[in-house]
Amino acid sequence: MLCKMLACTTVARKQSAIPLEKGHADGMDISLPRSILRSIADRFGMRRCTAHYCFTEVCQAIQSSLHPRLVCWPATREKWQENADAFERQYGIQGCVGCVDGSHVPVKPPAHDRDSYINRKGFPSVNLMAVCDHFQRFIHTYAERAGSVHDARVFRVSDIGRRALDNELFNCDEFHLLGDSAYPLLPQVQNKHFVIIHRLSL
């Protein structure tokens, strides 16, 4: 399915001696540690530089064409209400449009600034912040901060974080995001401890 979607992109339409399916499979495989790049290139019968080019091409196509289509923030009140109704039916949580959390994506850090990428677990990473809906689908992602940056800081500097801090994420008080204790308790962001306490008090 992903190959078919990528086939419609500008990058994928370029003339290439490498079939899209092969380039896609290679792109998925070499997202593994660089140390196994040689064996991946051997498996697909290509040079390492060609394998790296395939990976870069696939990533660019995903970022430019698929990400805007598949990772969509609900921008209307109707969509907020649809998500909130589904969360309430499935989990008994009222007014929740999405759940926010962070994840550390391993990376090879730049040599001149390696320490900034070392996270609390001891390995270099980028701190990915994501919001998911009731189907566990991504509706927002932000991955522009190094692994040493705390989740709360990543949230504050992200687009939805700034809007939440200004109380502009939703244009009414009925809706909010749900996160863990790493995230600030705001009118439009509630953490799970607050929700548990609130539910016990009902």
Same domain? For 97 and 190 the reply is yes
Same domain? For 66 and 83 the reply is no
Domain assignment present for 1: no
| Placement of tokens 């270099």 in the chain | 124
Same domain? For 91 and 190 the reply is yes
Final residue of a domain: which of 70, 100, 134? 70
The per-residue pLDDT for 193 is 52
| Calpha distance 148→2 (Å, rounded) | 32
Tens digit of pLDDT for each residue in 88-117?
999 888 899 999 999 999 988 888 999 999
The per-residue pLDDT for 44 is 82
Same domain? For 93 and 48 the reply is no
Same domain? For 50 and 92 the reply is no
Q: What share of the chain has pLDDT > 70, as a percent? A: 76
Q: Does 2 or 128 have the greater pLDDT score?
A: 128
Domain assignment present for 36: yes
Q: How many domains does the chain have?
A: 2
Same domain? For 63 and 82 the reply is no
Domain assignment present for 98: yes
Same domain? For 181 and 81 the reply is yes
Same domain? For 83 and 43 the reply is no
pTM: 0.73
Q: Does 67 or 105 have the greater pLDDT score?
A: 105
Same domain? For 100 and 168 the reply is yes
Domain assignment present for 4: no
Final residue of a domain: which of 48, 70, 92? 70
Same domain? For 109 and 24 the reply is no
For residues 131 and 177, the answer to whether their CB atoms sit within 8 Å is yes
Domain assignment present for 13: no
Same domain? For 90 and 182 the reply is yes
The per-residue pLDDT for 194 is 47
Sign of the CA dihedral running 92, 95, 97, 99? negative
Q: Look at strands 125-132 and 189-191 and give their pairing.
A: unpaired
Q: For residue 23, what are its two tokens?
A: 């380039």
As a whole number, mean pLDDT of residues 189-193 equals 68
The per-residue pLDDT for 68 is 73
How far CA 62 is from CA of 21, 41, 74, 111, in Å, comes to: 14, 21, 20, 27
Tens digit of pLDDT for each residue in 117-167?
999 999 999 999 999 999 999 999 999 999 999 999 999 999 999 998 888
The per-residue pLDDT for 150 is 94
What average pLDDT does the chain have?
Answer: 79
Least confident of 19-33, 51-65, 147-161: 19-33
Structural domain boundaries, residue 172: 77-201
For residues 82 and 96, the answer to whether their CB atoms sit within 8 Å is no
Same domain? For 113 and 168 the reply is yes
| Calpha distance 56→37 (Å, rounded) | 13
Q: Does 32 or 112 have the greater pLDDT score?
A: 112
- State the pLDDT confidence band at 55, using cuts at 50, 70 and 90: confident
Domain assignment present for 7: no
Domain assignment present for 12: no
